[in-house]
Amino acid sequence: MESKHLFFDLDRTLWDFEKNSEIALSKLFVDLELHKSISDFQQFHKHYKIHNSRLWKLYGSGKLSKETLRNERFRVTLEQFQLDDPNLIQQLSDGYVEISPQQTTLFPNTIPTLVALQKEGFNMHIITNGFKEVQFIKLENSGLTSFFDIIVCSEDVGKNKPSPDIFHHSLRNANAKPENSVMIGDDFEVDILGALSVGMQGVLFDPYKEHKHFQDNFIIHRLDELPALLPWVLKKNL
């Protein structure tokens, strides 16, 4: 029997990016005394999320460098509050990259699900567009490293998901065949369509039930739904 391979996204799929990010930003808000200039953390956080999401999309499509993204998301957020302080921007940028990956909040049932899949004999790997210097810290601090054989960051390939290059690279490194491989991630265009483009199957993780009209594709709302679904996913390529 040929080996079966699961490729997971990390942020917003296993590691709860939104919660961990908010914890890190709230700590920086206090440590850097932003309350003296910005009365409401929630307003600061709201603007940051909007700008960070927009800039990550530009980074993902190759239109923005990592270095620019790291600072620009804080520059434009502070600009919303009439703050223009290069030193503060740098402190936020450096502090966030240091503090955020130290957080360890995972989505419910992450560890039990990975344990169950490991017992079923799946080979498991990570494919992430996140910054290489922080993704390994997240995995280690959250107790996830031991579950995965291959960890591929987009920087290693020079292309972000959904580029076929990163999926082909990951399949080669894992010695996996596309027809025996499944990608699990939270982003339909990046994770699922990217995987389908190289002959893999995909399972969309939608914990907040945002995809109301999702047809002809596999979807889970809880990670512990994955083990029971996978036999049906893998049959689709037979």
pLDDT in tens, the chain (238 residues): 689 999 999 999 999 999 999 999 999 999 999 999 999 999 999 999 999 999 999 998 889 999 999 999 999 999 999 999 999 999 999 999 999 999 999 999 999 999 999 999 999 999 999 989 899 999 999 999 999 999 999 999 999 999 999 999 999 999 999 999 999 999 999 999 999 999 999 999 999 998 877 666 799 999 999 999 999 999 877 6
Same fold across 5-16+106-235 and 17-102: no
Domain boundaries, the chain: 5-16+106-235, 17-102
CATH superfamily placement of domain 17-102? Putative phosphatase; domain 2 (1.10.150.240)
- Which ranges in 32-131 belong to alpha helices (H)? 41-60, 66-79, 86-99, 110-119
pLDDT, position 216: 67
The whole-model pTM stands at: 0.94
Of 187, 181, 112, 118, residue with least CA distance to 147: 118
Classify 5-16+106-235 by CATH class.
Answer: alpha beta
- Which ranges in 80-223 belong to alpha helices (H)? 86-99, 110-119, 132-141, 154-157, 164-174, 193-196
